[in-house]
Amino acid sequence: MRILLIGNFAPPYDEESLCNLSLLKRLTEEGNDCRVINTSENPAKVKGFINAKTYLGFVPKLIRYAWKSDVIHCLTKGYTRLGLLKLMTSTLVSRLFRLKSIITLHSELFSIIGQMRSKVGGEQAVYLSFSLAHKIIITDKDTYEVASKFKKKDNFTLNPSFINIPEYAKDNEPIALKKLKDKKKVIVFSNVRFPSFLFEILHSFLSKPPDPDIGIVVSLSEKLSAKLQHVIEEAGKLQAENLIFISPEDMQMLSIAYARADIILRPLSCDGKIFFSGFAISCKRPVRSGNYLYFPNSMLVVKEGEIAELCTSIIDTLLTENADRARFQKEQPEPAAEDFYSRIKEIYSE
């Protein structure tokens, strides 16, 4: 099958881009002919990906690769006006070329802003995109509920976004993983920048007395961020044995860290661009199912006053709940692994 994937495929990586890359990896492994148009503001690092930051640059590339495809699959958080315009154009072109059009709405930003779309242009663009698409894959219940406001036909389905957990040889285990090996609980701070609400929470967490059972993984949002890393290392001197840094461009290590994580904290973002970094973060607890990591729900934390210490207390509570849940699960039969990728393959073939 010839598939054109459109979305964020660029660093700094978070679950949006990692999920997109996981889907591409599985499709390619099974012999599908895939092309990628990266719509992020940041350039993709993988050879062969087509970057299309602007709308004028996007349209000719979309047309060029669409006529060689069977399926156009647009993956987005549906937040930015430019992203929505690209989404609408993708569904229009798929209809003109008589191709199957699939939309994936990644979680969180559409559930926040979708119900506040402008009645002049914004709502019409969403209605048109949803009505033209053959199938709309929505990755969490909150987004499904808000997106249903724009539902024109029975083409919605709920399927969590997933990351394919990478494998590695035990005799070639990365150094960072060895540091995490004996940790009972792991927190990932992803796409950290300064100043930001996320940095305040990280700083507050590092100021606490160290807990040898907790590993803290930090991935910064900028490549050239040695100064910020030094600041974090200084703040976390007491936590030096628990603190691990991962490059924002290392998709394999970040995927493995996500797989080990009990909690993932990151700023809100769409198509590689961070929004509301001064007062909002996403807090997620990933779930492992077979070789997949998926994200059934999330919690949005909005800053009101000085609440960084309160957020660290919330994290501690969530970690305790995770530990109790892990002990309970050990006493229960192992659940059957769900294959979310197979569901997407079925959608392509419907």
Q: What is the pLDDT of residues 225-250, one digit of tens each?
A: 777 887 787 776 767 778 888 888 88
Q: Are residues 87 and 183 in the same domain?
A: no
pLDDT at 213: 86
Name the band, by pLDDT with cuts 50, 70 and 90, for residue 72.
Answer: very high
Beta bridge partners, 71, equal: 3, 100
How many CB atoms within 10 Å of residue 167?
A: 8
Q: Are residues 125 and 184 in the same domain?
A: no
Residue 308 has pLDDT above 80, yes or no: no
Q: Are residues 84 and 187 in the same domain?
A: no
Q: Are residues 187 and 245 in the same domain?
A: yes
Closest by Cα among 304, 278, 320, 249 to 46 = 249
Q: Are residues 87 and 20 in the same domain?
A: yes
Residue 162 has pLDDT above 60, yes or no: yes
Query: Can you give the residue range of the structural domain that contains 21?
Result: 2-164+340-349
Q: What is the CATH number of the domain that holds 314?
A: 3.40.30
Residue 337 has pLDDT above 60, yes or no: no
The pTM assigned to this predicted structure is 0.87
Q: Are residues 191 and 300 in the same domain?
A: yes
pLDDT at 333: 42
Instruction: State the average pLDDT over residues 37-43.
Output: 93
Q: Are residues 155 and 98 in the same domain?
A: yes
Q: Are residues 310 and 178 in the same domain?
A: yes
Q: Are residues 143 and 228 in the same domain?
A: no
User: Is 335 inside a domain boundary?
Assistant: no
Q: What percent of the chain has pLDDT over 90?
A: 35
Q: Are residues 154 and 191 in the same domain?
A: no
User: Is 79 inside a domain boundary?
Assistant: yes
Count how many domains the chain has: 2
Instruction: Give the Cα separation of 317 and 89 in Å (integer).
Output: 45
Q: What is the CATH number of the domain that holds 69?
A: 3.40.50.2000
User: Is 193 inside a domain boundary?
Assistant: yes
